[in-house]
Each structure stands twice: as structure tokens, then as C-alpha cells.
Amino acid sequence: MQQDTISTAASPAVFSHSPAAKTAAVEFRQVSKSFGPHEVIRNVDLRVDSGEVVAVCGPSGSGKSTLIRLINQLESVTRGEILINDQPAQNLKGAALRQLRTHIGFVFQQFNLYAHLTAEDNVSLALIKVHGWKKNVAREKARALLGRVGLGDKALHYPDELSGGQQQRVAIARALVTDPGIILFDEPTSALDPEMIGEVLLVMQELAKSGITMIVVTHEMSFAREIADRVIFMDGGEILEQAQPEDFFLRPQHPRAQRFLQKVLFPLHPQTGAGR
Ligand SMILES: Nc1ncnc2c1ncn2[C@@H]1O[C@H](COP(=O)(O)OP(=O)(O)OP(=O)(O)O)[C@@H](O)[C@H]1O
Ligand SMILES: [Mg+2]
């Protein structure tokens, strides 16, 4: 990856998404990942277009988190190639890795906010520490983003003064602070009480309309069904099925996907095939 073609938070440019161009925001070419002898991602080919919203689902241990962690190099590829905006992007270090992560936001299941920082300081931290922004300018941007996720009045609150749903919305604002073209979510609603899931999904729905590329690992079938452009089903480190949501939910093709959906959609009737 060439440095002069990557945006920074200070100068968003070429690496930003462009709705008109159908570049591949993310492309996997025969990617495998092993932990020791254990191959957890196997020969994955995947193309996610710029602006596309993809839901990734599958049973526990199927490799969903590893798949998205490979994209922003929280894990390294064992074999194969990953391209970001059609440029090879792996084994990056130093400034190039920072620039990759500037372009790719990540939202974790457990929020991962700093407990000793206010919401606005959590959001603005990267701009100040990594990109050298002046504190007042960075905080102004943080407050604008907090407003965008419905937390304009919580900028000075600490994480333990916020509900789980509010903390996750702060984490989403933080992931957006560098104007990424791509945002990755790893089960963003799984740690939330049921009544807080909706407020986070609504923010994600707004984001999906903005043209950003989203890859979302989720058990939240309403997200996959109503917001995603495409659903990817994984098992055993492989992508077994990719389909538009309607096709995936009404006419899953792979027997493993059929069994998975049966269990997820009809947990009291895991065997009967009811509802298909
Ligand atoms: N750092 C690691 N070291 C060793 N093995 C790992 C590591 N991270 C993940 N694995 C293994 O890789 C496989 C895939 O894990 P991964 O976390 O990607 O699955 P997942 O689909 O996200 O599961 P879940 O739905 O439970 O989050 C699992 O067998 C897991 O134990
Ligand atoms: Mg996971």
C-alpha cells in the first residue's frame, strides 16, 4: 500500500468511499488463517463493494470474529491476500498500519471505552494522540459525532454513568471519528440488555444509509434481514453461503445454513423445519 494514496484523519481523500465507484472496499483472495495447527479461516474468497452493508452470521467458533479482525490487522493472514480499495493491505506496520486503521473503524462487543475518560474524550482521543489535532477542535468533532448517535447531552459523562446502549453508541462515534470508509462491527449488540438493542440498531441503520461500507458480525437477525444488502453464512472457517437477506431467510440453500436458521429463528423447535 502506498502511503500517498491513503487518507488520514487530517486529510480524508483518496481512501474515502465514493458511492459512484464500484471498487471493492474489501477483497479476500484465498485467505487462510491458522492459530498454531488450527486452521480457523480456510481459503476464503470474498468481495465487499464500496457502500455495501454485509451481515456475517454463523455458529460460535465458525471464524466470524477472526474474519473481520483480519481486515484491520488485529490478526495477520497466514496465506492469501487481502485488498482494501483494490490495494494490497497486509503485514502493514507503523504509519501504514495507522493509516489503514484510520480508514477502517472497528466496534467491539464489549465497547472497550476508557473508564477514566469522558464520552467526548474517548471519541476524540485518536484525533489528538494519533493525528495531532488540537484538543478543542478534536472535541468539537467528537461532540458533533455524539450528537449524530443521539448523545449530544452526554459528552461529559464517563462510561460508568452511561447505559450499555449509550456506551456502545459512544464506541460507534469513536469508530467514526477518523471518517473511515469502512466500519467493522463484532456482535455490537450481544452484550446489551434487550431493551437497549434497538437504540444501537437504529444508529447502525442510519449509518448504513450514509454510504459507508459496513461488515457486521451479528446474531441480530433483524439487522441481517432489514438493513443488510447481503448475508454471509460461515461455518468451520469457510463461507458456506452468501445471499440477499430475503433469499437467505426464506430459501437457505446449504443444509448447515438451514439448520442454523432453524435454531436461531425457532429455538423451541430446533428439529421440525417449522417456518420454512
Ligand atoms: N487468538 C487465538 N488463538 C487461538 N485460537 C483462536 C484465537 N482466536 C480465535 N481462535 C479460535 O478460532 C476459531 C474461530 O474463532 P472466532 O472467534 O473467529 O469465532 P466466532 O465465529 O467469532 O465465534 P463466536 O460466535 O463465539 O464469537 C475458534 O476455534 C477459536 O477458538
Ligand atoms: Mg466472535
Residues 6 or more apart from 152 whose CB is under 8 A from it? 143, 146
Name residues of the chain where pLDDT drops below 50.
Answer: 1-18, 274-276
pLDDT value of residue 272? 63
pLDDT value of residue 259? 95
Give 109-155 as a 3 state SS string.
CCCCCCCCCCHHHHHHHHHHHCCCCCHHHHHHHHHHHHHHCCCCCCC
User: What sign does the CA torsion over 67, 5, 203, 121 have?
Assistant: positive
Residue 218 has which C-alpha cell? 451479528
Task: Please tell me the distance between residue 65's alpha carbon and the centre of ligand 2 in angstroms.
Answer: 4
Total-model pTM: 0.91
pLDDT value of residue 267? 86
Rounded Cα distance between 60 and 244, Å, is 22
Hey, whose CA ends up nearest to atom 9 of ligand 1? 66
Q: Residue 160's CB: how many other CB atoms inside 10 A?
A: 8
Does residue 271 line the site of ligand 1, with CB under 6 A?
A: no
Does residue 34 line the site of ligand 1, with CB under 6 A?
A: no
Q: What are the phi and psi torsion angles at 88 (to 5°)?
A: -55, 135
Q: Within 13 Å of residue 207, how many CA atoms lie on the same side as its CB?
A: 32
Does residue 114 line the site of ligand 1, with CB under 6 A?
A: no
Q: What are the phi and psi torsion angles at 147 (to 5°)?
A: -65, -40
